[in-house]
Structure 1
């Protein structure tokens, strides 16, 4: 998961993410599925993040290999080019089997 903080210029973030960063992330080997969405809250308070991207891999090994690849390294290095609100990256391990 990548949680992006609120950018200084949301329109610039959206444009860069759509036209430059997402195409880089699309090339990461081993990505099974991924989704990105803007964050909102249930009570209309300002959410802690602007956008969250969730990338799915078949295994932790596939994730590690994908991120270590030249394509994964290029996508990771690109975050600093547009994420003016910062970015938090983390991994979750499924502990509840899918239905």
Structure 2
């Protein structure tokens, strides 16, 4: 399965990030069709108690590259991408990979 991972760096204002993320960004994201499943993570830190390199992570799963391209290229997908600059003040890294499972 194809996975698109969005890694959010630490925002300038975490409270403003969380408010916008929940009240504005997630409703836009939830309008996107074609995502097989998604997982959202808010990082607590490292095992030794240090600050994590990233603040949040969103993992979006797709059945194929073509499905990802179609979904993210849709008006709703583009609205989600274009909205990132409205709240992700620390920046984001976006990567794509294939999941692997043991047989």
**Which interval holds the TM-score relative to the shorter structure?**
over 0.9
Q: Which runs of 5+ in 2 are unaligned?
A: none
Cα offset, 1:25, TM superposition: 1.1
TM-score, length-normalised on structure 2?
Answer: 0.89
12, 16, 20: which one aligns with 1:16:
20
Partners of 2:60 and 2:30 in 1: CA distance: 10
Listed as ranges, the matches of 1:76-95 within 5 Å are 76-94=81-99
RMSD: 1.3
Shift of the 98–31 alpha-carbon distance from structure 1 to 2, 3 Å rule, reads: farther
Higher RCO structure (Cα 8 Å, ≥6 apart) = 2
TM-score, length-normalised on structure 1?
Answer: 0.92
Partner residue in 2 for 1:70: 75
The structure with the largest strand share of the pair is: 2
3, 6, 13: which one aligns with 2:7:
3
List structure 1 runs of 4+ shifted beyond 3 angstroms.
none
Q: Aligned residue pairs: how many?
A: 98
